[in-house]
Structure 1
Amino acid sequence: MEGDRIEEVTLVHSPVDEISHLALDIGGSLIKMVYFSTSREQPIDKTQNNSSRDSHGGVSRGSKDGRLLNGRLYFLKFETSKINECLDFISSKQLHYRGHQHCGFPASDKNIIKATGGGAFKFADLFKEKLGISLDKVEEMSSLVSGANFLLKAVPSEAFTYVNGQRNYVQIDHNDLYPYLLVNIGSGVSMIKVDGDGKYERVSGTSVGGGTFWGLGKLLTKCKSFDDLLEMSHQGNNRVIDMLVGDIYGGMDYLKIGLSSTAIASSFGKAVSENRELEEYRPEDVARSLLRMISNNIGQIAYLNALRFGLKKIFFGGFFIRGHAYTMDTISVAVDFWSKGEAKAMFLRHEGFLGALGAFMNYQLVEEFPDSIRLMGEKTRDPLVGDLTDNGVIECCVQASN
């Protein structure tokens, strides 16, 4: 699959009859998938006020009828252009058969799954034709907010800053979480002011996002995939193509307005004055300049919107980031520069799955998640998926009622 989904070998190991629920976020570039798989079922320990701690550190809670589901949430991705591979995967693992009586969920012959994103409308007929699935559409902005709120409240060390090449995890005060700005960078960018559970407003956005990077990158470098383009940018030097302040001022800073000689005055600006064709530039340098331009722009617009509404916390999500060091560094520097050091960009470990997770939260049978759940997953690195290999699994407990 060439990196189209996360932890393929690790994730696809649960027996089919343990699968409980599946949710999708079908975007313009990527399909994000979240599904829940049970691992075991335990009775309530009535000696501990309907709450006990399991051997893995996850908090277990009793349900109304005394049944409890311990399991894991799995996270996968596919390219939307290869949607048939997603359909084949769902079919091969029978993920669309929702609910199994033995694991606490009522069995269902109705193949209805939660889905969000524009593709939930665009591909509804395809899912029905190929798998007999009806897509129960969940509003996109609502899903993003629900997913972000859940992660920030429930997953330890979900949010972090990225400064000087170092991740610094942020402890979230649940009593002081709101309001915040959620910047979701997918094919395009949405900026959402979040005031509480179910309380939000999309206040801004930009069409210059992940789809722009991928689209222009494909045209300019002939790169075949988003991940290959990211890897290519890692080997590049944007100063070959970008016009810097020092190029204009003879190598000097422009200190009167706070610009160093290395600040970018014009993205791709050197190409104007040089008599060179595209083929004479290294694709790596083009990719680097493109990534820098888009990341800088998003960071600046995000801070200006935070300033507009007096928001102190800015969280960045979406599959554009992918845990990529240069992307996070550029966004962080942009927020730091425009805020004069007063604001910090914060990133999310499960950055690309906010919408899919939010759609999953809309299943009525998922009554309650624990206050604290343990993050699971391999800590290995895969160049195709960057830092996402430790984002594949969350161990959790879900109540079920019959």
Structure 2
Amino acid sequence: MKPAKIGIDAGGSLLKMAFEEQGQIHYKNYLIDELDNSMNWLKMTAADAEVALTGGKAEYLKKEYFQNALIFPEFESSSIGASYLLKQDGLSYQNFILSIIGTGTSICLNSGGKISRVSGSGIGGGTLMGLGRLLTGEKDFTRLVSLAGSGKAENADIMVNDIYSPFDSPIDGSLTASNFGKIKDDQISKEDKAASLTNMIAETIVLLSTQAAVRNQIDDIIYIGSTLRQNAPLKHLLEKYTAMVGKKPVFIQNGAYCGALGALLS
């Protein structure tokens, strides 16, 4: 690999990289635990490349590895990368909510190209990994996603239907009344616990995202971030709940790399 330009988004859990090579943009990611090995390898293989950094560990990477690198603000980089990828998909929005689901979740307003963070939560991919391990004993992301896809959240959650039974509910009975409310013993399966956790994460993110959308009179919510990569259960729930409140959920191919791509393009 001998790229001419490299954009790196150094987050709390992952290093995401976008690089230009022979006129094409390619993507890679590394666990943050592999930071030293991956950056030393990059310095050797792409010594002459221009490097642009963003994310929480950008200052550290600049100090330790790429003293000549430029640092770009995280949310602006994500917005630039998202807008670029949307156009690649034939989509274009003047105003949208950008929900960045990484270790935590940041919810940003893009208004005519200007980006500002309007909300957020500590619930995100870090919650899936940390609480998922406590609930199931599993520490592998792919394994947790697989468990969630096989489980049923309603076996662990108290649903609105459960509250009103045997009478009809005045609101959608399939909504959650209490996350994990049915867990009173060890009879709930790993699959159901993982599904309940994924449901809680999705509900929280959609609640905050749609509140921001309503407040700013916006219909489109763009969901990006590394937590969505190969995570069909979370994506399905985000789609379901966003549509339920009358907003349009949008997902981008390579959306996990928006920050790195935005830094590269900047």
| TM-score with structure 2 setting the length | 0.92
> In the alignment, is residue 236 of structure 1 matched against residue 151 of structure 2?
yes
Tell me if structure 1 keeps the 8 A contact 2:10–2:53. Answer: yes
Mapped pair 1:356 → 2:260:
yes
Say yes or no: does 1:87 pair with 2:25: no
* Whole-angstrom distance in 2 between the partners of 1:86 and 1:127: 11
Structure 1: how far apart are the matches of 2:73 and 2:200?
31
Match of 1:205 in 2: 120
Query: Where in structure 2 are there 5+ consecutive unaligned residues?
Result: none
* Distance across 1 between alignment mates of 2:28 and 2:109: 27
RMSD, aligned CA: 2.0
Deviates more, 1:18-27 or 1:322-331: 322-331
4+ runs of 1 displaced by more than 4 Å?
Answer: none
Answer whether contact 1:26 1:119 (CA < 8 A) is retained.
yes
- Once residues 59 and 134 of structure 2 are traced to their aligned partners in structure 1, the CA distance between those partners, rounded to angstroms, is 28
The alpha carbon displacement at 1:243 in A equals: 0.9
Cα 1:114/1:269, change in 2 over 3 Å: same
The percentage of aligned residue pairs carrying the same residue is 29
Residue of structure 2 equivalent to 1:97: 48
Q: Which has the higher helix share?
A: 2
SS in 1 for 2:226: coil
Larger radius of gyration: 1
**Partners of 1:37 and 1:300 in 2: CA distance:** 40
Are the equivalent residues in 1 in contact too, given 2:16–2:29 (CA < 8 A)? yes
**In the alignment, which residue of structure 1 is the partner of 2:76?**
142
Deviation at 1:321, TM superposition (A): 1.3
Name the counterpart of 1:226. 141
Segments of 5+ residues of structure 1 without an aligned counterpart are: 1-15, 39-70, 99-111, 157-170, 363-402
- Following superposition, the deviation at residue 78 of structure 1 comes to 0.9
- Given that 2:98 and 2:107 are in contact with CA atoms closer than 8 Å, whether structure 1 keeps it comes out as yes
CA distance in 1, matches of 2:168, 2:239: 21
1:268 has 2:204 as partner: no
Which of 172, 180, 184 is matched with 1:259 structurally?
172
Instruction: Establish whether residue 114 from structure 1 lines up as the match of residue 27 from structure 2.
Output: no
Alpha-carbon contact 1:209-1:294 (below 8 Å) kept: yes
Aligned to 1:376: none
TM-score normalised by the chain length of structure 1? 0.62
- 2:8 aligns with one of 24, 27, 50: 24
Conserved 8 A contact 2:40-2:65: no
Give, in angstroms, the shift of residue 24 of structure 1: 0.4
Instruction: Summarize the Cα distance change of 1:85–1:226 in structure 2 as closer, same or farther, 3 Å threshold.
Output: farther
> Residue 19 of structure 1 aligns to a residue in which SS?
coil
Match of 1:35 in 2: 19
- Choose from 169, 189, 193 the match for 1:286: 193
CA drift at 1:91: 4.5
Query: Quick one: distance in 1 between partners of 2:61 and 2:133?
Result: 25
Equivalent residue letter for 1:180? F
Displacement after TM superposition at 1:324 (Å): 2.5
What is residue 332 of structure 1 aligned with on the other side?
239
Decide whether aligned partners of structure 1 residues 251 and 291 sit closer, same or farther in structure 2, where only a CA change above 3 A counts.
farther
Q: How many residues align?
A: 266
One-letter code aligned to 2:139: K
The 1:212/1:122 distance shift into structure 2, 3 A limit, reads farther
AA aligned opposite 2:250: M
Aligned CA distance change for structure 1 residues 356 and 251 (closer, same or farther; 3 Å): farther
1:247 corresponding residue in structure 2 = 162
* Residue number in structure 1 paired with 2:107: 191
Contact kept in structure 2, 1:116 and 1:139, CA below 8 Å: yes
